[in-house]
């Protein structure tokens, strides 16, 4: 069985918005109560006991007003947090579980579908204890798709979304990839990527384009009553804060839209895509001097999109080793040029007569290395 989630925009009424806020708050409250009880029990017994949300409903009657499955999922999330904390796998270590803040924690909850409690219609999504919520159903699921769960969230700009998880049988994909229809991509801070054909991915710098507008809105926010740490938040402060959050969300949506379009275009056009395995977090630090451009590109998100889109189409994404010297090798004769470690040198010149942009030369080398790795796997 395969799973796929579709995110829908919700338009709740005032009463439904209040119910969403209650559910967010109750989930946070139960999480903090369970974590507190676990810590207190550990101090006396040396073990973390199993706690459930049911034990708190007598002391806190308002917990009965919200969806019980949402509270049950909070328990599972806390158990997963403890497992990841003590896991030997370094990739899963996220530190010890922390208490959720009422001001800064993410507003979301997950509920499961039991006998049709979560369902979709033409213009709404039905949720437990909420009822039918108006929604934009921009994409219809398949006839054989079954709803497993729904995650309701509220973003910083105040908009509501429901991410509905579907389960369906694995489709039989008979497409056979053409290994000669391949392309290599080299990361470029100015333009997302440069491919082996010499094309540049995108020249948009969405954060920089909206930076002046954002700075102006943030200056206005700093002058409102409530900007200081222990100061009461005024209505004008909250209104201006929503404006700042809307600008941030607009920048993120622009970047996400561009990355989806570029990744879909490549996944439809090519059967084999070869890239470098880069640590984008390390590349964005101050040592390289272009951290803002690196983060604004969203190259890591772009590779994640490429990976699942190519996999759905029965195509290949090959990642070359991060230590592969793609920029230092002449793709014509194979001569190594150590001087190309200097990022200020933008053109490679070889004794064999090659004169080319360093990024395109690197993309060709990545393509050659990727095809070699694919041939070894086959």
Buried b / exposed e across 353-369, counting CB within 10 Å, b at 16+?
eeebbbbbbbbbbbbbb
Q: Where are the beta strands (DSSP E) in the chain?
A: 2-11, 107-112, 119-120, 124-127, 131-136, 146-154, 160-168, 182-188, 192-195, 272-276, 316-320, 347-349, 355-357
CA pair distance 352, 349, nearest whole angstrom: 9
Q: Are 188 and 277 in contact (CB under 8 A)?
A: no
- List residues with catalytic annotation: 186, 276, 359
Strand partners, 10: 135, 160
**DSSP track, 342-375:** STT--EEE-TTS-EEEHHHHHHHHHHHHHHHHHH
Q: What number of residues does the chain have?
A: 378
CA pair distance 264, 250, nearest whole angstrom: 21
CA pair distance 351, 359, nearest whole angstrom: 19
Return the CA Rg of the chain: 25
Within 13 Å and on the Cβ side, how many CA atoms surround 364?
16
CA nearest neighbour of 3 among 127, 125, 121, 142: 142
Q: Tokens representing 81?
A: 């947090």
């Amino acid at each position: 069985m395969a799973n796929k989630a579709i995110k829908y925009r919700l338009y709740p009424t005032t009463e439904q918005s209040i119910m969403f806020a209650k559910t967010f708050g109750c989930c946070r409250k139960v999480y903090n109560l369970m974590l507190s009880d676990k810590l207190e029990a550990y101090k006396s017994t040396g073990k973390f006991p199993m706690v459930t949300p049911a034990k708190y409903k007598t002391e806190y009657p308002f917990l009965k007003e919200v969806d019980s499955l949402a509270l049950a999922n909070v328990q599972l999330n806390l158990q997963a947090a403890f497992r990841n904390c003590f896991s030997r796998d370094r990739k899963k270590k996220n530190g010890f579980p922390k208490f959720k803040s009422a001001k800064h924690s993410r507003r979301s909850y997950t509920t499961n579908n039991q006998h049709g409690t979560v369902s979709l219609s033409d213009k709404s999504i039905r949720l437990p204890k909420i009822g039918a919520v108006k929604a934009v159903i921009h994409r219809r699921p398949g006839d054989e798709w079954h709803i497993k769960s729904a995650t309701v969230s509220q973003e910083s700009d105040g908009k509501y979304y429901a991410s509905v998880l579907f389960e369906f049988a694995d489709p039989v994909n008979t497409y056979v990839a053409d290994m000669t229809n391949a392309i290599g991509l080299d990361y470029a801070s100015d333009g997302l990527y440069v491919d082996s054909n010499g094309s540049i991915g995108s020249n948009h710098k969405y954060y920089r384009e909206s930076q002046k507008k954002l700075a102006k809105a943030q200056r206005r926010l700093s002058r409102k009553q409530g900007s200081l740490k222990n100061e009461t938040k005024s209505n004008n402060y909250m209104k201006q804060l929503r404006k700042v959050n809307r600008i941030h969300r607009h920048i993120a949506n622009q970047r996400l839209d561009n990355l989806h379009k570029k990744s879909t275009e490549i996944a439809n056009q090519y059967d084999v895509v070869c890239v470098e395995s880069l640590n984008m977090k390390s590349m964005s630090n101050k040592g390289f001097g272009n951290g803002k451009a690196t983060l604004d590109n969203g190259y890591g998100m772009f590779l994640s999109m490429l990976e699942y889109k190519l996999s759905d189409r029965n195509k290949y994404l090959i990642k070359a080793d991060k230590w592969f010297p793609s920029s230092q090798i002449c793709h014509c004769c194979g001569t190594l040029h150590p001087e190309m470690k200097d990022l200020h040198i933008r053109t490679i010149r070889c004794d064999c007569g090659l004169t080319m942009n360093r990024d395109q030369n690197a993309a060709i080398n990545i393509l050659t290395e990727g095809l070699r790795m694919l041939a070894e796997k086959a």
